[in-house]
Amino acid sequence: MYNINSKEHLGNKIEKKEKSDKKPKNKYKIFFIISLILVSFLAIGWISQIVVYYQLKGEYNQARNQITELEEQVKDLETILDNIDESTDIGLHFMQNIIFDTNYGTEGWNYWIQVPFENYFYFRLYQDHTVQRSSYTTLANSIENFCNASSVYFMAQTVIEVCSDKNDDEEICNAILNLVQDKGNFTPCIHYISEEDDMPKYPIETICEGGGDCEDKSILFVSLLESVGYDTILIIIPGHCFAGVYLAETPTWGDGWYVEYNGKEYYTCETTMEGWRVGDLPSSSQGQEIYVSEVVC
Protein backbone atom coordinates (compact mmCIF):
# COMPACT_ATOMS: atom_id res chain seq x y z
CA MET A 1 0.00 0.00 0.00
CA TYR A 2 1.26 3.38 -0.88
CA ASN A 3 1.14 6.50 1.22
CA ILE A 4 -0.85 9.23 -0.40
CA ASN A 5 1.63 11.79 0.79
CA SER A 6 4.55 10.03 -0.74
CA LYS A 7 6.30 12.28 -3.22
CA GLU A 8 7.57 9.27 -4.94
CA HIS A 9 4.17 8.56 -6.15
CA LEU A 10 2.86 12.15 -6.35
CA GLY A 11 5.74 13.58 -8.24
CA ASN A 12 7.98 16.49 -7.57
CA LYS A 13 5.21 19.14 -7.68
CA ILE A 14 1.73 19.28 -6.50
CA GLU A 15 -0.42 21.74 -8.54
CA LYS A 16 -4.00 22.85 -8.19
CA LYS A 17 -5.98 22.58 -11.42
CA GLU A 18 -8.03 25.69 -12.09
CA LYS A 19 -11.62 25.21 -13.19
CA SER A 20 -12.75 27.08 -16.39
CA ASP A 21 -15.23 29.91 -15.85
CA LYS A 22 -18.39 28.80 -17.65
CA LYS A 23 -20.70 31.39 -16.10
CA PRO A 24 -23.04 33.05 -18.99
CA LYS A 25 -22.68 36.70 -19.74
CA ASN A 26 -26.28 37.86 -19.19
CA LYS A 27 -25.76 41.45 -20.29
CA TYR A 28 -24.98 40.41 -23.88
CA LYS A 29 -28.02 38.19 -24.06
CA ILE A 30 -30.31 41.01 -22.95
CA PHE A 31 -28.80 43.37 -25.52
CA PHE A 32 -29.27 40.78 -28.24
CA ILE A 33 -32.89 40.17 -27.31
CA ILE A 34 -33.71 43.89 -27.22
CA SER A 35 -32.02 44.40 -30.59
CA LEU A 36 -33.96 41.51 -32.05
CA ILE A 37 -37.22 42.95 -30.76
CA LEU A 38 -36.44 46.39 -32.22
CA VAL A 39 -35.51 44.94 -35.58
CA SER A 40 -38.73 42.91 -35.56
CA PHE A 41 -40.81 46.04 -34.92
CA LEU A 42 -38.98 47.91 -37.67
CA ALA A 43 -39.45 45.03 -40.07
CA ILE A 44 -43.17 44.87 -39.28
CA GLY A 45 -43.44 48.65 -39.87
CA TRP A 46 -41.61 48.43 -43.17
CA ILE A 47 -43.74 45.53 -44.33
CA SER A 48 -46.93 47.41 -43.36
CA GLN A 49 -45.78 50.47 -45.29
CA ILE A 50 -44.97 48.36 -48.32
CA VAL A 51 -48.43 46.74 -48.18
CA VAL A 52 -50.14 50.15 -47.85
CA TYR A 53 -48.03 51.53 -50.71
CA TYR A 54 -49.09 48.78 -53.10
CA GLN A 55 -52.72 49.11 -52.01
CA LEU A 56 -52.65 52.87 -52.67
CA LYS A 57 -50.83 52.30 -55.94
CA GLY A 58 -53.55 49.89 -57.04
CA GLU A 59 -56.31 52.34 -56.07
CA TYR A 60 -54.50 55.17 -57.86
CA ASN A 61 -54.16 53.12 -61.05
CA GLN A 62 -57.85 52.22 -60.87
CA ALA A 63 -58.83 55.88 -60.39
CA ARG A 64 -56.50 56.91 -63.21
CA ASN A 65 -58.18 54.42 -65.54
CA GLN A 66 -61.61 55.75 -64.57
CA ILE A 67 -60.48 59.32 -65.25
CA THR A 68 -59.14 58.26 -68.63
CA GLU A 69 -62.48 56.65 -69.48
CA LEU A 70 -64.35 59.81 -68.42
CA GLU A 71 -62.03 61.98 -70.50
CA GLU A 72 -62.74 59.79 -73.51
CA GLN A 73 -66.49 60.09 -72.89
CA VAL A 74 -66.18 63.89 -72.66
CA LYS A 75 -64.30 63.93 -75.98
CA ASP A 76 -67.05 61.83 -77.54
CA LEU A 77 -69.71 64.27 -76.26
CA GLU A 78 -67.73 67.23 -77.57
CA THR A 79 -67.55 65.54 -80.96
CA ILE A 80 -71.31 65.03 -80.92
CA LEU A 81 -71.89 68.68 -80.03
CA ASP A 82 -69.55 69.83 -82.80
CA ASN A 83 -71.56 67.83 -85.32
CA ILE A 84 -75.00 68.94 -84.13
CA ASP A 85 -76.83 71.70 -85.99
CA GLU A 86 -80.44 72.75 -86.29
CA SER A 87 -81.13 70.36 -89.17
CA THR A 88 -79.97 67.20 -87.37
CA ASP A 89 -82.82 64.76 -86.75
CA ILE A 90 -82.45 61.90 -84.27
CA GLY A 91 -86.16 61.06 -84.25
CA LEU A 92 -87.17 62.46 -80.83
CA HIS A 93 -89.50 65.44 -80.48
CA PHE A 94 -91.00 67.82 -77.96
CA MET A 95 -94.77 68.14 -78.20
CA GLN A 96 -96.28 71.40 -77.03
CA ASN A 97 -99.96 72.29 -77.04
CA ILE A 98 -100.90 75.98 -77.43
CA ILE A 99 -104.35 77.49 -77.67
CA PHE A 100 -104.60 80.82 -79.50
CA ASP A 101 -107.14 83.09 -81.19
CA THR A 102 -107.34 84.68 -84.62
CA ASN A 103 -109.71 87.17 -86.20
CA TYR A 104 -109.39 89.43 -83.15
CA GLY A 105 -110.48 86.78 -80.68
CA THR A 106 -113.47 85.43 -82.55
CA GLU A 107 -111.88 82.16 -83.69
CA GLY A 108 -110.00 79.77 -81.41
CA TRP A 109 -107.39 77.22 -82.38
CA ASN A 110 -105.74 74.29 -80.66
CA TYR A 111 -102.18 74.07 -81.95
CA TRP A 112 -99.92 71.08 -81.36
CA ILE A 113 -96.30 72.03 -82.02
CA GLN A 114 -93.73 69.35 -82.70
CA VAL A 115 -90.12 70.43 -82.15
CA PRO A 116 -87.20 68.04 -82.81
CA PHE A 117 -85.34 67.35 -79.59
CA GLU A 118 -81.98 68.18 -81.16
CA ASN A 119 -83.22 71.69 -82.03
CA TYR A 120 -83.89 72.37 -78.37
CA PHE A 121 -80.63 70.65 -77.38
CA TYR A 122 -78.72 72.78 -79.89
CA PHE A 123 -79.92 76.07 -78.38
CA ARG A 124 -80.08 74.96 -74.75
CA LEU A 125 -76.58 73.50 -74.43
CA TYR A 126 -74.58 74.66 -77.41
CA GLN A 127 -75.45 78.34 -77.78
CA ASP A 128 -74.19 81.22 -75.64
CA HIS A 129 -76.61 82.39 -72.92
CA THR A 130 -74.58 85.28 -71.53
CA VAL A 131 -75.97 88.79 -71.76
CA GLN A 132 -74.51 92.16 -70.82
CA ARG A 133 -76.47 93.78 -67.98
CA SER A 134 -74.11 96.51 -66.81
CA SER A 135 -76.75 99.00 -67.96
CA TYR A 136 -80.02 99.07 -69.87
CA THR A 137 -78.08 100.29 -72.89
CA THR A 138 -75.77 97.26 -72.91
CA LEU A 139 -78.75 94.98 -72.29
CA ALA A 140 -80.57 96.50 -75.26
CA ASN A 141 -77.48 95.93 -77.40
CA SER A 142 -77.12 92.26 -76.48
CA ILE A 143 -80.62 90.88 -76.00
CA GLU A 144 -81.43 90.90 -79.69
CA ASN A 145 -78.76 88.22 -80.19
CA PHE A 146 -81.23 85.71 -78.76
CA CYS A 147 -83.75 86.29 -81.53
CA ASN A 148 -83.78 83.52 -84.10
CA ALA A 149 -86.31 83.70 -86.90
CA SER A 150 -85.40 80.56 -88.83
CA SER A 151 -86.11 78.25 -85.90
CA VAL A 152 -89.74 79.40 -85.56
CA TYR A 153 -90.69 80.14 -89.18
CA PHE A 154 -92.84 76.98 -89.35
CA MET A 155 -94.81 78.21 -86.34
CA ALA A 156 -95.51 81.70 -87.72
CA GLN A 157 -96.60 80.25 -91.07
CA THR A 158 -99.05 77.93 -89.32
CA VAL A 159 -100.67 80.90 -87.55
CA ILE A 160 -100.95 82.91 -90.77
CA GLU A 161 -102.60 79.97 -92.53
CA VAL A 162 -105.54 80.04 -90.11
CA CYS A 163 -106.00 83.83 -90.07
CA SER A 164 -109.24 84.94 -91.65
CA ASP A 165 -107.47 87.61 -93.72
CA LYS A 166 -103.92 86.66 -94.66
CA ASN A 167 -103.30 90.18 -95.95
CA ASP A 168 -104.37 91.95 -92.76
CA ASP A 169 -101.12 92.80 -90.97
CA GLU A 170 -102.92 93.86 -87.81
CA GLU A 171 -104.83 90.56 -87.56
CA ILE A 172 -101.68 88.52 -88.21
CA CYS A 173 -99.68 90.43 -85.59
CA ASN A 174 -102.48 90.13 -83.04
CA ALA A 175 -102.84 86.40 -83.71
CA ILE A 176 -99.10 85.83 -83.18
CA LEU A 177 -99.22 88.07 -80.10
CA ASN A 178 -102.07 85.99 -78.69
CA LEU A 179 -100.07 82.84 -79.44
CA VAL A 180 -97.27 83.85 -77.03
CA GLN A 181 -99.47 85.28 -74.25
CA ASP A 182 -100.31 83.50 -70.99
CA LYS A 183 -103.95 82.39 -70.76
CA GLY A 184 -104.03 81.00 -67.24
CA ASN A 185 -102.64 78.05 -65.31
CA PHE A 186 -105.09 75.48 -66.68
CA THR A 187 -104.88 76.47 -70.35
CA PRO A 188 -102.26 75.07 -72.73
CA CYS A 189 -100.17 78.11 -73.65
CA ILE A 190 -96.81 79.84 -73.35
CA HIS A 191 -97.01 80.65 -69.65
CA TYR A 192 -95.52 83.71 -68.01
CA ILE A 193 -92.85 82.52 -65.57
CA SER A 194 -90.93 84.98 -63.44
CA GLU A 195 -87.29 83.88 -63.41
CA GLU A 196 -84.80 84.94 -60.75
CA ASP A 197 -81.67 84.46 -62.85
CA ASP A 198 -83.26 86.58 -65.61
CA MET A 199 -81.19 84.94 -68.34
CA PRO A 200 -82.83 85.27 -71.77
CA LYS A 201 -83.90 82.17 -73.66
CA TYR A 202 -83.82 81.40 -77.32
CA PRO A 203 -87.28 81.07 -78.94
CA ILE A 204 -87.12 77.26 -79.20
CA GLU A 205 -86.30 77.03 -75.48
CA THR A 206 -89.36 79.10 -74.53
CA ILE A 207 -91.59 76.95 -76.73
CA CYS A 208 -90.29 73.58 -75.51
CA GLU A 209 -90.22 74.64 -71.85
CA GLY A 210 -93.75 76.02 -72.13
CA GLY A 211 -93.01 79.48 -70.79
CA GLY A 212 -90.64 82.25 -69.86
CA ASP A 213 -90.45 85.75 -68.47
CA CYS A 214 -91.17 89.03 -70.27
CA GLU A 215 -87.83 88.98 -72.10
CA ASP A 216 -88.27 85.39 -73.28
CA LYS A 217 -91.81 85.90 -74.53
CA SER A 218 -90.88 89.16 -76.27
CA ILE A 219 -87.88 87.49 -77.93
CA LEU A 220 -90.16 84.67 -79.13
CA PHE A 221 -92.76 87.15 -80.41
CA VAL A 222 -90.36 89.31 -82.45
CA SER A 223 -88.63 86.19 -83.81
CA LEU A 224 -91.98 84.90 -85.06
CA LEU A 225 -92.81 88.22 -86.73
CA GLU A 226 -89.32 88.64 -88.19
CA SER A 227 -89.52 85.15 -89.70
CA VAL A 228 -92.44 86.25 -91.89
CA GLY A 229 -91.05 89.65 -92.83
CA TYR A 230 -92.20 92.11 -90.16
CA ASP A 231 -89.95 94.85 -88.78
CA THR A 232 -89.72 94.70 -84.99
CA ILE A 233 -87.89 96.08 -81.97
CA LEU A 234 -87.45 95.06 -78.35
CA ILE A 235 -88.33 97.77 -75.84
CA ILE A 236 -86.68 97.71 -72.42
CA ILE A 237 -87.77 99.72 -69.39
CA PRO A 238 -86.67 99.32 -65.76
CA GLY A 239 -87.80 95.85 -64.70
CA HIS A 240 -89.68 94.95 -67.86
CA CYS A 241 -89.37 94.13 -71.55
CA PHE A 242 -91.97 94.21 -74.33
CA ALA A 243 -91.99 94.44 -78.11
CA GLY A 244 -92.83 96.80 -80.91
CA VAL A 245 -93.86 96.12 -84.52
CA TYR A 246 -93.89 98.52 -87.43
CA LEU A 247 -97.24 98.82 -89.18
CA ALA A 248 -97.96 101.13 -92.08
CA GLU A 249 -101.36 102.01 -90.60
CA THR A 250 -102.47 102.76 -87.06
CA PRO A 251 -104.01 99.67 -85.41
CA THR A 252 -107.78 99.89 -85.11
CA TRP A 253 -108.14 97.40 -82.25
CA GLY A 254 -105.47 98.76 -79.90
CA ASP A 255 -105.00 102.07 -78.08
CA GLY A 256 -102.41 103.32 -80.56
CA TRP A 257 -99.33 103.43 -78.32
CA TYR A 258 -96.09 103.44 -80.28
CA VAL A 259 -92.36 104.12 -80.02
CA GLU A 260 -90.76 106.22 -82.72
CA TYR A 261 -87.44 104.75 -83.77
CA ASN A 262 -85.37 105.62 -86.85
CA GLY A 263 -88.28 107.59 -88.27
CA LYS A 264 -90.77 104.70 -87.95
CA GLU A 265 -93.66 104.15 -85.58
CA TYR A 266 -93.40 100.79 -83.81
CA TYR A 267 -96.66 99.87 -82.07
CA THR A 268 -96.31 98.40 -78.61
CA CYS A 269 -96.99 94.70 -77.95
CA GLU A 270 -97.35 93.40 -74.38
CA THR A 271 -96.47 89.70 -74.50
CA THR A 272 -97.04 88.57 -70.92
CA MET A 273 -100.79 88.01 -70.45
CA GLU A 274 -103.78 87.54 -72.71
CA GLY A 275 -105.95 90.56 -73.44
CA TRP A 276 -103.37 93.03 -74.70
CA ARG A 277 -103.43 93.81 -78.42
CA VAL A 278 -101.05 95.55 -80.77
CA GLY A 279 -100.94 99.22 -79.75
CA ASP A 280 -101.96 98.59 -76.11
CA LEU A 281 -99.66 99.49 -73.23
CA PRO A 282 -100.17 98.73 -69.51
CA SER A 283 -100.29 101.82 -67.30
CA SER A 284 -97.24 100.57 -65.38
CA SER A 285 -95.18 100.84 -68.57
CA GLN A 286 -96.36 104.30 -69.54
CA GLY A 287 -94.12 107.31 -68.96
CA GLN A 288 -90.99 105.18 -68.46
CA GLU A 289 -87.57 105.85 -69.96
CA ILE A 290 -87.09 103.32 -72.74
CA TYR A 291 -84.15 101.58 -74.35
CA VAL A 292 -84.61 100.13 -77.81
CA SER A 293 -82.96 97.02 -79.20
CA GLU A 294 -83.20 96.80 -82.97
CA VAL A 295 -83.93 93.25 -84.05
CA VAL A 296 -82.13 91.81 -87.06
CA CYS A 297 -82.62 88.07 -87.50
pLDDT tens for 88-108 read 555 577 788 898 999 888 899
In terms of domains, do 285 and 138 share one?
A: yes
In terms of domains, do 118 and 70 share one?
A: no
Beta carbons within 10 angstroms of residue 81's beta carbon? 12
Choose among 248, 249, 269: nearest CA to 257.
269
Could you tell me the CATH number of the domain that includes residue 209? Answer: 3.10.620
In terms of domains, do 55 and 197 share one?
A: no
In terms of domains, do 77 and 113 share one?
A: no
Count: domains in the chain? 2
Beta carbons of 291 and 139 less than 8 angstroms apart = yes
Q: What is the pLDDT of residues 186-221, one digit of tens each?
A: 899 999 998 766 678 999 999 999 999 999 999 999
Report H helices in 100-213: 117-121, 136-143, 153-161, 169-180, 203-209
Q: What is the pLDDT of residues 66-82, one digit of tens each?
A: 888 888 877 766 666 56
End-to-end CA distance of the chain: 149
> Structural domain of residue 200, as residue ranges?
103-294
Choose among 177, 186, 162: nearest CA to 269.
177
Rounded to whole angstroms, the Cα distance separating 2 from 132 reads 136
In terms of domains, do 268 and 123 share one?
A: yes
Beta carbons of 221 and 176 less than 8 angstroms apart = yes
Q: Is 36 within a domain?
A: no
In terms of domains, do 55 and 196 share one?
A: no
Q: Is 27 within a domain?
A: no
By the 10 Å C-beta count (0-12 exposed, 13-18 middle, 19+ buried), 261 is classed as middle
Q: Is 229 within a domain?
A: yes
Quote the pTM value: 0.69
Rounded to whole angstroms, the Cα distance separating 124 from 101 reads 29
pLDDT: is 182 or 10 the higher one?
A: 182
Rounded to whole angstroms, the Cα distance separating 54 from 198 reads 52
Residue 117 pLDDT level (bands cut at 50, 70, 90)? confident
